[in-house]
A = this chain, B = another copy of it.
Amino acid sequence: MSRWEPNARGRLEQAALELYGESGFESTTVAEITKRAGLTERTFFRHFADKREVLFAGAGALQEMLVSKVNDAPASLPPIEAIATALHEVADAVFEERREFARRRQAAIAANAELQERELIKLASLSSALADALRERGVADPAASLAAEAGIAVFKIAFERWTNDTGERALSQLIRESMDELKLVTGGQPLTTRR
């Protein structure tokens, strides 16, 4: 019965994100998604456990990539630089070519409280995994937790700017800018000298 559909996953993602934007996540059904994609529900459930998974299926792979890049960073690199390097590499390798998907995904999440909670949990899990990776490198606490939390805060804020940005600045550039800004902020840069 089942047959191979060219780029079924990508077509399902696109159809789902279009529908979440048009009708909202809550009211969209899997049947509507598969109809829009010209695929069967059977195919949908081969790729995703449910309609929420379309938005969060990449979370595990993202976490693995970030952790492995922190593991691979030169031992001499300060903790925050190890995390910044991992974020830059993942931004270029994974996100840059998926900006339109990321924009639609962000809009769907912003419109739904349950999805926002799920996103918070994903980010907390990323932070916790990065802190573990830093501890593996011999970074003591609270520095490991703080560097991980700071890195994820930078990522979150840069990501929001990237998906809202009408210009074409790369995500990795916005991560760099936010990281620099965080350094100024935590350095207690006084308000009066700020732009």
How many monomers of this protein are in the complex?
Answer: 2
| Interface size, A (range) | 35 or more
Contact mask for chain A residues 4-45; partner B; CB cutoff 8 A; 1 contact, 0 none: 000000000000000000000000000000000000000000
Contact mask for chain A residues 73-85; partner B; CB cutoff 8 A; 1 contact, 0 none: 0011111110000
Within 8 A of B (CB), among A39-90: 75-81
Residues of A at under 8 Å CB distance from B? 75-81, 117, 120-121, 124, 137-140, 142-143, 145-147, 149-150, 153-154, 156-158, 161, 177-179, 181-192, 194-195
B80 touches A185 (CB 8 A): yes
A14 to chain B, nearest CB (A): 29
A147 touches B185 (CB 8 A): yes
